[in-house]
Chain A
Amino acid sequence: MLTVKYSKLEQARFLSHLDMQTILQRTIKRAGFMPIFTQGFNPRPIFKMSKPLPLGVASKCEYFSVDIPNISKEAFIKDCAGQTPKGIEFLDVWVTERDPKVFNLGAVSEYEILLKNIKQDKFSLVKKAINEGFVVRKKQKRQYIIQDVSNLIVDIGYVKNKMIVRLLSTESLNLRINDFLSGINTLLSADLEISNVVKTNQYIGKEDISIDTYLSKMELNLKK
């Protein structure tokens, strides 16, 4: 199985998850690689993606896996260069024996939020709120609910005009970046927009093991 890390930046942020699936599959075919297809009446390429990214959010750490026989990593990266639409770039590749199940891997997502006009001292307010109870208004089953989501915030920091935040993003415990941002806007009376956000990393748990590290380990096992 081949797993690819890619970025989704600039205007590509506005492409839906479903559109991305088609775009990525066509990119691979254009580069001259033929994925293995499922059997049956309507064969489809064996192709899996990490969790959908909210529309408008840029990311430097999205993943997909595809089954391509006898593939060389180097050839894949080289041949795919220049085949992607603007804003999408293949960053790294791993070849593993097992399917890493990328959809479930990203248990924690890290975001960088550009804080225009918000000084560092205000940031302490955020920290305090997270300790004491950080409330957001979020949509759940077609209704808006008010919820304390402090337990879904793994970590938060401030570096050079940017807020770095790690949010839980598992199937059952998940804080969407849009909801987090609206909570911050309410708290600080700010107008931060989704276009100020970049997803920078994904981790497999609360520990510091990134998906990249995890995939490298899997790849190493294959070599051994």
Chain B
Amino acid sequence: MFGYVFRKLIFMKKLDSILLNVENPGRYIGGEFGICDIKKKYDLTFCIAFPDVYEIGMSNLGIKILYNILNNNQHILCERVFAPWVDMGAMLRENDIELFSLETRRSLRDFDILGFSIQYEMAYTNILYMLELSNIPFYAKERDESFPLLVAGGPCTANPEPFAEFFDIICIGDGEEVSLKVADIVRENKGNKTKILEECKKIEGIYVPSLCVVKEGVCQEKVKKSVVKNLDLAEFPAKMIVPNIKIVHDRPVVELFRGCYAGCRFCQACFFYRPIRNRSFQTVLKLIENLIKSSGYEEIGISSLSTGDYCEISELLYVLPKLAKQLNIKVQIPSLRLDSYDASLFKLGRSSSITFAPEAGTQRLRDVINKNITDEDIDITIKNAISNKCRSFKLYFMIGLPTETDADLDGIVEICERINRLYVDLTGKKNINITISVAVFVPKPVTPFQWVKQIGLDEMTYKQNYLYQKFKKIKNVSYNWHDSKTSFVEAVLARGDRKLAKLIEKAYKKGAKFDSWGDKFDIKYWNDAAKDMGIDLDIYVAERDLDAVLPWNFIDFGVSQKYLKNEYIKALNGLTTEGCKFNCNHCGANKLAKCSQHIKCEEDMRC
């Protein structure tokens, strides 16, 4: 006991002087309002790990939901850890301190379960960074019972193969119910990893890489994605942690529905999160009220992939302004699709700027990607926004989409010119700001474009320069573009196979970490790692044969391969598919759980 207290004192002393010498020490102190009760009795410790900095991790709704669910269980104490920024990482190493959780400052190594939430491919090296700082071996096969069970979850599990060998189990799909089941199994079988893995494998949504037979790089088992069948019954925190420092999305958030009706063909989130499940309007209002009262925040976000498509949007829009006024709060509404845009949504945010994503510059290309919005929709939205005193416009586009030509790039420029003209016509003023953000298309698993090649680095540079030359001549427009090399590595990792675990490890050992941070990313680490391994990264971004077995084909996402293939063929023929809000397109997702409109449909007896 004395030894423990003494060690803790030394640790605290060291930590104090470290915190005085790192950027933004508030990231590492914990103690926020709303954290779990660390004095409670428990028999299982769970740490949610987010492989990026606190400000980004704490903006993620998923980990807040899981934190709440796990801590509401009488047996579990659930804590958090985020990737320490490079200065803190170096200090921890220098002072021989293992990476620790925020709540009790326990070393990650001492937890029963360490669950990583993996949101984007460029965070893969940070997983290894966090493991190394915790003295935890990278590969599952190198870890015995004395180490925590390593679990992965989050949208990157759409293709878990590149990081599969690092993890003991991978949770594919919604984590609300599965995480508790895994925790139960670990609690009941502590010290017996073999039994834990075997039992976990029986849970729907759980993939145990070490127990799967792999032939020619492809897993031979079938794993079904887990889904929460009824979102209204699923636990959603009525109280959330209120961070002590400013975070990226600094507000509590209520999720309206999961999945998306639109079916844009490049969009992984749309298909990965299907079937579409609604949270009822009454539940949403109750949650908003509870969250505002329990957090003290001055604003709230309502979130979902395409808010305007929410089944009860008109009811919500009728009541929300009143509630916002009563509680003296702002309501933030992200992710507007232009066709669902409504002036009342805009008014609610009390903001003088609007963000939207036409994604492509011409109607032809928007048809290819199934972004079902027209030039007329864009004009109506802009006019609406201008009449609501908006003078700042942020537009997102992509380059490198299948079948794209220079004419489509010209279309992006034309949209901006049109907004400029409309603004002058309607206001007589020129004080408009237009920000254009152009990303490079990355073909992602579980989308109709999962077979498509990514354009080469030279072509990316050509297209970025093409736009730069055009935009430089237009007033009031600032043009930003994503780094092409980062998009290339993202595409490699997104559609990679098990061989890439070694690539990630090698790149990390050469210096790659915080790859999603522009100033930290260096493609040299990745190229050198590939060279050492003798693999050609271009193969991973090349076009795939429609009949090829893809590394993620062993997972049943609900949405069928046949549907995705059909959508791809329609894309090449410039044919669109209408969103499924009113008519089901039979994508297959409803075999996992009924889509909300199916339920509604049955209730209406119209089926």
Q: Are A14 and B29 in contact (CB under 8 A)?
A: yes
Least CB distance from B117 to A in Å reads 23
- Kindly state whether residue A10 has any CB partner on chain B within 8 Å: yes
Contacts of B19 in A (CB 8 A): 11, 14, 56
Distance in angstroms between the alpha carbons of A171 and B467 in the assembled complex:
52
A32 to B293, CA, bound (A): 7
Q: With A30-B293, A56-B19, A194-B20 given, is the CB distance from A22 to B30 under 8 Å?
A: no
Are A193 and B17 in contact (CB-based, < 8 A)?
Answer: yes
Query: How distant is B16 from chain A, measured CB to nearest CB, in Å?
Result: 4
CB distance from A32 to the nearest CB of B (A): 8
Residues of B within 8 A of A195 (CB): 13, 16-17, 20
Contacts of B31 in A (CB 8 A): 10-12, 85-87
**Which residues of A have CB within 8 Å of B298?**
26, 29
Q: Are A19 and B33 in contact (CB under 8 A)?
A: no
| Contacts A11-B31, A12-B31, A28-B296; A85 near B244 (Cβ below 8 A) | yes
Interface residues of A in 46-77 (CB under 8 A from B): 55-56
Known: A14-B19, A55-B20, A194-B20. A19 touches B26 (CB 8 A): yes
Residues of A within 8 A of B344 (CB): none
- For A83, what are the chain B residues with a Cβ–Cβ distance below 8 Å? 33, 296
Contact (Cβ within 8 A) A15 B294? no
Chain A, Cβ-Cβ closest to B242: A26
Tell whether A26 pairs with B32 under 8 Å between CB atoms, given A55-B25, A195-B17. Answer: no
CA gap between A11 and B33 in the complex, in Å: 13
A170 at interface, CB cutoff 8 A = no
* A34 lies within 8 A of chain B by Cβ: yes
A28 to B296, CA, bound (A): 7
Find the B residue at minimum CB distance from A18: B246
CA–CA, A2 and B293, complex, Å:
21
In the complex, A27 has a CB within 8 A of chain B: yes
Query: Are A15 and B30 neighbours in the complex by a CB distance under 8 Å?
Result: no
Asked whether A25 is an interface residue with its Cβ less than 8 Å from the other chain, the reply is yes
- Known A23-B244, A26-B295, A27-B296; contact A15-B32, beta-carbon cutoff 8 A: no
CA gap between A56 and B17 in the complex, in Å = 9
Bound form: Cα–Cα A12–B293 in Å: 23
Q: Are A16 and B26 in contact (CB under 8 A)?
A: yes
Complex CA gap A15/B29 in Å reads: 9
Do A19 and B244 touch (CB < 8 A)?
yes
Interface of B: prevailing SS: loop
The residues in B between 240 and 297 inclusive whose CB is less than 8 angstroms from any CB of A are 242, 244-246, 293-297
**Known pairs A12-B29, A87-B31; A30 contacts B295 (CB<8 A):** yes
**Contact size class for A?**
20 to 34
Least distance between B85 CB and chain A CB atoms (Å)? 14
User: Quick one: closest B residue to A193, CB to CB?
Assistant: B17
Chain A 166-194 near chain B by CB (<8 Å), digits 1 or 0: 00000000000000000000000000011
B461 close to A (CB within 8 Å): no
A85 vs B244: C-alpha distance when bound (angstroms): 8
A25, closest chain B residue (CB): B296
Chain A nearest Cβ from B119, distance in angstroms: 25
B328 within 8 A of A: yes
Could you tell me if B32 and A85 are in contact, using CB atoms closer than 8 angstroms? Answer: yes
Can you name the residue of chain A whose Cβ is closest to the Cβ of B30?
A11
A84 within 8 A of B: yes
Q: How far is the CA of A13 from the CA of B233 in the complex (A)?
A: 41
- If A16-B26, A56-B19, A195-B17 touch, whether A30 touches B33 (CB-CB below 8 Å) is yes
**Shortest Cβ distance from B317 into chain A, in angstroms?**
23
> A residues within 8 A CB of B245?
15-16, 19
How far is the CB of A67 from the nearest CB of chain B, in Å? 15
Find out whether the CB atom of A30 lies under 8 angstroms from the CB atom of B30: no
Partner of A85, one of B20, B25, B33, B297: B33
**Residues of chain B within 8 A of A16, CB atoms compared:** 26, 245
CB distance from B13 to the nearest CB of A (A): 8
Determine if B33 and A84 form an interchain contact, defined as CB atoms under 8 angstroms apart: yes
Pull 5 A–B residue pairs with CB atoms less than 8 Å apart, ordered by A.
A16-B245, A26-B298, A31-B296, A37-B328, A85-B244
A-side residues, CB < 8 A to B, are 10-12, 14-16, 19, 22-23, 25-32, 34, 37, 55-56, 83-87, 193-195
Give B residues with C-beta under 8 Å from A: 13, 16-17, 19-20, 25-26, 29-33, 35, 242, 244-246, 293-298, 328
The 7 nearest A-B residue pairs measured at CB:
A86-B31, A26-B296, A30-B296, A29-B296, A11-B29, A14-B25, A195-B16
